[in-house]
Amino acid sequence: MKPVGDTLQSPAPADRAELPLVSIIVAAFNAAATIEETCRSALAQTYPSIEVLVVDDGSTDTTADIVTELAAADPRLRLIRQPNLGVAAARNCGIAAARGELLAPLDADDLWAPGKIAAQVSRLAQAGSDTALVYCWWAWIDDHSNVLDRSPPWRIEGRALQRLLEINVTGNASVPLFRRSVVLELEGYRSQLRDDGCQGCEDWDLALRVAERHRVAMVPEVLVGYRRRSDSMSTQDDTMWRSRAAVAQSIAMRNPSISSAMLRRSQGQFALHLAGVAFWRGDILRACRWGLRTRPLWLGIAVSPYIARLLLRHIFRVAATRPRLVAHGLTFDSSCPADPLIPYDRIYLGHWQTYDREPSHG
């Protein structure tokens, strides 16, 4: 697939002194199986002004040993160790130690295209000083980096709080680039979610809080490989459901313009997301349970043909071709299908135009 829009070129090394330093924050817990590949994808960025901070969150495997060996060969990489306090606290620890003007979180099992940071820094400069978050598109990958699906080609920019509340167009923690000053002003990721037993949506929560005050921008290219693992936090659906509710409630309390209808749509979309996660795990009954919570009705109707197709593939065990994600050039697009399995961007577009004409949604 050819990247949409002009390809963003990485800055020349000679300009390094004038470039903002980007601090890449990797929170890692028992990530020995993937941490080397993840760190190498960060260190391979074409953008020359980076530091990589790996926060070992109390791992009991060889994660720290692997990072220590990598750091000995590349001074841009640093290891920080702390007791097991959770992913939000680990990211906040890295943010506190960071020296960069910009922050880029990266989960310890995900991958970046070489041009990811360069493209986002360039877009941030174009978007202006009131933009504090730049996202991109991503691909879902399995344990062997085979492509499972790709993100919808979202093009939401500007004042995007309500869109981002309805559906998380930033996707996952490894996607955004932030202005560090804004993240510090917001006191980073909310570790309280873990303390309250509803962790899982900390990355979405931070993106929403940034979007409350600032504009967002995007790069129209697949630049992140987001790994789906059966033991990951995102598969703990009941905890994720509580986490979404806590995040949405806190945002709604501060923003009276967010209607009850918007909150219902957000809840219904998240139920559909959890149905997809359960389906991917092979738990069809649980997928149906979450699918029945999908609201509004038009959304369930709109996605039903695509879900029926996936069910038929599952029933008849039709094997899909799954190319391995390859960090080729500035994007992962050549390894991704042209379209996502469910084209949420097209499904939502017409309905958003309808909502925007209603006074209660303005």
| The predicted structure's pLDDT at residue 9 | 39
pLDDT of 326 above 80: no
Q: Of 349, 347, 327, 345, nearest to 336 (Cα)? A: 327
Torsion angles phi and psi, residue 269, rounded to 5 = -65, -40
Per the prediction, the chain carries an average pLDDT of 89
For 62-65, which contacts have Cβ atoms below 8 Å and span 24 or more sequence positions?
62/32, 63/28, 63/29, 63/30, 63/31, 63/32, 63/35, 63/108
pLDDT (mean) for 329-333: 67
Supply the pLDDT for residue 360.
43
The token pair at 114 is 């070489």
Interatomic CA distance for residues 123 and 131, integer angstroms: 10
Torsion of CA 41, 43, 47, 48, to 10 degrees: -170
Dump pLDDT digits (tens) for 261-280: 999 999 999 999 999 988 88
Task: List pLDDT tens digits, range 97-133.
Answer: 999 999 999 999 999 999 999 999 999 999 999 999 9
Is the pLDDT reported for residue 13 higher than 60?
no
CB atoms within 10 A of CB 311: 13
Q: What is the largest CA-CA distance in the chain?
A: 59
Distance in angstroms (rounded) separating the CA atoms of residues 27 and 35: 10
| Residue 2 scores a pLDDT above 60 | no
Q: Which of 278, 156, 138, 260 is nearest to 208 (CA)?
A: 156
Q: Which two tokens stand for residue 98?
A: 């960071």
Residue 5's pLDDT band (cuts 50, 70, 90): very low
Say whether pTM exceeds 0.75: yes
Span 193-217, average pLDDT: 96
Cis peptide before 296 (omega within 30 of 0): yes
Q: Say whether pLDDT at 192 is over 90.
A: yes
pLDDT tens-digit readout, 273-323: 999 988 888 888 999 999 999 888 899 899 999 999 988 888 887 777 788
What band does 18 get if pLDDT is binned at 50, 70 and 90? confident
State the Cα–Cα distance between residues 217 and 332, nearest whole angstrom.
20
